[in-house]
Amino acid sequence: MHIVTRPLSDYLRYEFMYYEPHARAGEDIRILDLTSRPNPGLPDQDFWAFDDSTVVLMNYEPDGTQINRVLVEGDVEIYREWRRIAVAESVPFMDYVKEHGWQ
């Protein structure tokens, strides 16, 4: 899952180049484009949800340099809900590329 706004950065277009073969091989890569719509209630905090109980926060400098990763201790229900919203509001990567190209 990747939340984006257009125009895509050079780095994000670079990432998309690698998403394509993975999506074609069957990986469920999804894109939520917030360019022309309001955020559906998702946080600005980047996180990875590995399963229903393991969540890691990804922390970055303003220039995109990663600072650290922090394992969330305790209740992760809000992250499960944010994941549910993100999946429901997003589209498969190949559908996104078909509609928007590499903008």
Residue 103 has pLDDT above 80, yes or no: no
Instruction: Please name the residue ranges forming H helices in the chain.
Output: 10-24, 77-89, 93-100
In sequence order, which residues have a C-beta less than 8 Å from that of residue 39 and are 6 or more positions away? none
Integer Cα distance of 89 and 34 in angstroms: 10
Check: pTM over 0.85? Answer yes or no.
yes
Q: For the beta carbon of residue 90, count every other beta carbon within 10 angstroms.
A: 19
Tokens of 54: 């393991």
What integer pLDDT is reported at residue 102 of this predicted model? 67
* 48 membership: H or E segment, kind and range: strand 46-49
Tokens of 66: 């990663």
pLDDT in tens, 38-85: 999 999 999 999 989 999 999 999 888 999 999 999 999 999 999 999
